[in-house]
Amino acid sequence: MSARRSHRGAVGARGGLDSPAGVGLALLGVVVLLLARRRRRRGADPERRRRASRRSRPAPLMPLMPRTPRVRRPGPLALAAAAPGRAAVIALGAAALGYGAWLVLTDLPIDLIAWLAVWLAGAIVVHDGLIAPIAQLAGVAIDRTGRGLRMPRSARLLVAGGLAVGGAWTLVAAPEIVAKARGAANPTVLAGDYAAALAWAWIAIAVAVVVGAVVLTSRARSRAAPRS
């Protein structure tokens, strides 16, 4: 009675490395690995290394940034020996991951598996290629405009924060507005006016941001130039 059975694919699909796309990806991975090895060997030349490091030195405060590895990290086997708890969790995680992948491969027909891969890739592309760059540029633009308007840092951050909250809520409400426009199965599904709700949310954010920015800016100005 589970719906799973009805979706059993006609082909005993394994997908993955069997397919030409999989082979292509594996080849790409090999090429990238060779490239990386080559760079490191070239870096052995001290003159070259000095020149290279001057060109691509990471900026000061970036504890997150991965550096070109001069230090050999312990390989996975050494890690497993030193920290069996962590290794066990990784193994369990891999098992869960494998179970999920197995469910996909056995419950979906091959064309839907391909579509799922497309949607998964799409999730990464939409975030890393669209949302994040736009957010980054918006942040820079607000910072520059704010500096031009002589707004203190706190006010610039408030504006950026307000925009971020509004943007996030818009991402959540926009599909709701579209779904309602497409027509609901009955009037109790998607019962509210979501375009209006989103508009009100933006108004509330705008009011809070404007009031806050004005207060912060005037306070900073009076602190900077105290006249009796």
Partner 1 sequence: MTGERDARLSRRAFLTTVGVGTIGLGLLTAGQTVDALAPLALFAPRRVGAGPQGLPVNRTAEAAAVRDLALAPDWSLEVVHQGVPSRFGLDDLRALELVEARLPIACVEGWSTEATWRGVRVRDLLALVGAPARSACRIASLEPNGPYAVTSMGAEYAADPGTLVAIELGGEPLDLDHGYPARLIAPARPGVLQTKWLRTIEVVS
Partner 2 sequence: MTESTTRPRRRAGIVDRASRRLEERAAGIRRALDSPVRTTRTAVVVGRLLGLAFAVCFATGLFSHFLQDPLPWMRFPTVPADLYRWTQGAHVVAGTMSIVLLAAKLWTVYPRLFAWPPVTSLASFLERASIGVLVASAGLQVAMGLLNTYQWYPWPFDFRTVHFALAWVVAGSLAIHVAVKLPEIRRHWRAADAEERSGAGPREDGAS
Binding residues for partner 1, rule: CB under 8 A, are 1, 3, 61, 153-154, 157-158, 160-161, 164-165, 168-169, 172-173, 176, 185-192, 194, 197-198, 200-201
Cβ 192 to partner 1 shortest distance, Å: 6
- The yes or no reply on residue 112 touching partner 2 (CB under 8 A) is yes
Q: Are 126 and 26 within 8 A, CB to CB?
A: no
Number of shown-chain residues binding partner 2 (CB under 8 A):
82
- The yes or no reply on residue 52 touching partner 2 (CB under 8 A) is yes
Q: Are 198 and 177 within 8 A, CB to CB?
A: yes
| Residue among 21, 84, 93, 211 that touches partner 2 (CB under 8 A) | 93
Which region, judged by CB under 8 A, interacts with partner 2, from 13-21, 82-90, 196-204, 213-221?
82-90
Q: Is 133 exposed, middle or buried (0-12, 13-18, 19+ CB in 10 A)?
A: exposed
Between the alpha carbon of residue 125 and those of residues 1, 120, 190, the distances in Å are 37, 9, 29
Indicate which of partner 1, partner 2, none lies near residue 7 (CB less than 5 to 8 Å, by partner kind). partner 2
Cβ 124 to partner 1 shortest distance, Å: 21
Cβ 147 to partner 1 shortest distance, Å: 13
Q: Are 188 and 171 within 8 A, CB to CB?
A: no
State the amino acid at position 10 in one-letter form. Answer: A
Q: Cβ neighbours of residue 174 under 8 Å, at least 6 residues apart?
A: 198
Instruction: Report which DSSP code applies to 6.
Output: G
Read off the tokens for 141. Answer: 């633009």
State the amino acid at position 114 in one-letter form. Answer: A
Cβ 102 to partner 1 shortest distance, Å: 22
Which alpha helices (H) appear in 19-131, and where do they start and end? 20-42, 46-55, 76-82, 84-107, 110-124
- The yes or no reply on residue 188 touching partner 2 (CB under 8 A) is no
Cα–Cα dist 122/214, whole Å:
40
Cβ 199 to partner 1 shortest distance, Å: 10
Nearer to partner 1, 105 or 165 (CB): 165
Indicate which of partner 2, partner 1, none lies near residue 128 (CB less than 5 to 8 Å, by partner kind). partner 2
Cβ 191 to partner 1 shortest distance, Å: 4
| Residue numbers 114-143 binding partner 2 by CB under 8 A | 115-116, 119-124, 126-128, 131-132, 135-136
